[in-house]
Structure 1
Amino acid sequence: MLFNISYTEWVGYIASLALIISFLMKNLSTLRIINSIGAILFVIYGIMLAISWPIIITNAFILMANIYYLTKKRKEALNNGN
């Protein structure tokens, strides 16, 4: 416990902060990367809450969507470079 806040709550707060910061990004790739960090932290948070499936499922989906679009954009950039 730090500042009388449990470690589980800290993970939730940091995940929320990552999501807030991600939406301040102008670059969509940067937004997706930071948003993915937040989603990973929320999955960990859901596990720490003795398995909160709604949090885990939602954020796992968000993470997979971010990975899909980041991968797609990278492949397009590689194809345009050749």
Structure 2
Amino acid sequence: MEFSPEYVGYLASLLLMISFALKNVKLLRMVNTVGCIVFVIYGIMLSAWPIVITNGFIAAINIFYLVKDKK
């Protein structure tokens, strides 16, 4: 079975809907961070640097807030 980022997108969409329903911001940030990291790796494999930079930046912001809000 070949890896396809579409699967991550489907799973992320499902988890995001659940997060919205539960109003869980921390879960939203975690799902978004994992999705961004997957697309950073995928972008590196394709040498698609705009994808890598954009998703890396979003992941870094989410990680910052996840660490900052950890109580």
Fold conserved between structures, TM > 0.5: yes
Larger Rg: 1
Per-residue deviation, residues 28-48 of structure 1 (Å, max 9, x unmatched): 001111111111110111012
Partner of 1:33: 30
Tell me the number of residue pairs that the alignment of Structure 1 and Structure 2 aligns. 67
Q: For structure 1, list consecutive stretches of 5 or more residues without a partner in the other structure.
A: 78-82
Quote the RMSD (CA, aligned, Å): 1.6
Per-residue deviation, residues 11-54 of structure 1 (Å, max 9, x unmatched): x21332344234311200011111111111101110121x1011
Q: How many Å separate the matches in 1 of 2:39 and 2:11?
A: 10
Identical counterparts, % of pairs? 42
Q: For structure 2, list consecutive stretches of 5 or more residues without a partner in the other structure.
A: none
Matched, 1:23 2:16: yes
TM-score by length of 1: 0.70
Richer in helix (by share): 2
- Divergent runs of 4+, >6 A: none
Q: How many Å separate the matches in 2 of 1:14 and 1:40?
A: 14
